Structure 1
Amino acid sequence: MKRLAIITVGKTHSGKTTFAKALEKELANSVVVDQDNHAEFLHTYYQSLLPKQGSNTIKYAITQTIVNHAVHETNCHIILCNSNRNRRGRLRLIEYYQNQGFHCVLVNFELPDHILKVRIAESRRSTKILRVASTFDEVFSRQQSETNKGDIIEPTEEEADHLFIIKNSDGIPSIIREIVDLAVNF
């Protein structure tokens, strides 16, 4: 059986987690791997282990352990629910999954910034997942800056086996159906 690795790409509050959870309900034998859960776990139980500066290597190690288990010890489709905005890192992920026999799907969230700002303002989401920033407004500002400086390159069709683009919430159900159909037709 060919498995899917579905990789979400997008700014904070663009709908990646909501999409991933909805897809997991429809896509049989799938699991969501969400680094925000790992960050909250660390913040809640192991705050003293969090690095004060630099990369959050412990969070990445937890995520990698879960991914390795899902890849090598299960036959699950994997829904990777992170921002994945850095092209180089995204390509490494895709290469890893393809080398493990997965069919890679990118889902890029391209919602307008004004919608994201409203979502952030209305959000009740815990800031426990944040390590460097103290608010989601700060995260969003950093992401806008990265985009404006050209540090972030939007996904292209050449990167993965399939690319879906979400520009508003209306397109989500049809994209979920298409991904489920991809899995069924292997």
Structure 2
Amino acid sequence: MNRLVIMTVGKTHSGKTTFAKALEKELHNSVVIDQDNHAEFLHDYYQTLLPKQGPNVIKYAITRTIVDYTVNETNCHIIRCNSNRNRKSRLNQLAYYHEKGFTSILVTFEIPTHVLEERIAKNNRSKNVLRVASTFEEVLTRQENETNKGDVLVPIEGEADYLFVIKKPDDIQSVIGKIVNLSQRVGV
């Protein structure tokens, strides 16, 4: 059986989690793996283990454990709901899934900055997932400054088996439909 790995790529408040949850409802036998859930879990139960600076190694270890379990012990499709903006990291993750026989899909969110700013202003999302920044406005500013610098790049054709772009909320259902149809075509 051929499984899919769908990785979302986008800035804060671009709709990655909303998309992933909607896709999970329509893509039979799929699971969302969202690092924000792992960050919130650590914040709520293991705050003393969080690093004071540098990478959040414990969060990544939790995510890696859940990914490995899902890959090796289930037959689920995987929906990776993270920002996945670092190309090197993204390509390493994709290589892992390809080695395991997955068909890869990148869904990149290219939502205008003014829309993201409006969403942040209206949203009451928990800030417990933040470790380096204190607000989502700070996160967005950092992400805007990082875009297309160094290794933080928008996905391009050829990085994954399939690439879909979401530029507006109306694109979400269309992309979900394409992924569900693709899952049926690849013999899943």
Q: 1:104 to 1:44 in 2, by over 3 A?
A: same
SS in 2 for 1:48: helix
Runs of 4+ displaced beyond 2 Å: 148-151
Find the residue that maps to 1:169 and give its secondary structure.
Answer: coil
| Alpha-carbon distance in structure 2 between the residues aligned to 1:109 and 1:159 | 16
Question: Aligned pair 1:87/2:87, yes or no?
Answer: yes
The normalised TM-score by structure 2 is: 0.97
Q: Does 1:100 align with 2:100?
A: yes
How many correspondences in the alignment? 186
2:42 is equivalent to residue 33 of structure 1: no
What is the CA–CA distance in structure 2 between the aligned matches of 1:100 and 1:149, rounded to whole Å?
Answer: 31
The equivalent of 1:61 in structure 2 is: 61
State the partner residue of 2:131. Answer: 131
AA of the residue aligned to 2:160: A
**C-alpha distance in 2, partners of 1:150/1:72?**
33
Q: What is the percent sequence identity of the aligned residues?
A: 66
| TM-fit CA distance, 1:149 | 3.7
Listed one character per residue, the Cα deviations across residues 127-146 of structure 1 (whole Å, up to 9, x for unaligned) are 00001111000100110111
Q: Which has the larger displacement, 36-45 or 143-152?
A: 143-152
Deviation per CA, 1:102-127: give whole Å up to 9, x if none.
Answer: 00000000000000000011111000
Give the Cα separation in 1 of the matches to 2:14 and 2:68: 27
Residues 8 and 108, structure 2, Cα contact 8 Å, conserved in 1: yes
**Structure 2 equivalent of residue 161 of structure 1:** 161
> 2:72 matched to 1:72?
yes
Contact (CA 8 Å) 2:9, 2:109: kept in 1 or not? Answer: yes
- C-alpha separation in 2, matches of 1:95 and 1:4: 13
Shift in Å at residue 151 of structure 1?
A: 4.3
AA aligned to 1:96 is Y
Tell me what 2:110 maps to.
Answer: 110
The TM-score with structure 1 as length reference comes to 0.98
**How far is the alpha carbon of 1:26 from its aligned partner?**
0.1
Inter-CA distance 94–75: structure 2 relative to 1 (3 Å threshold): same
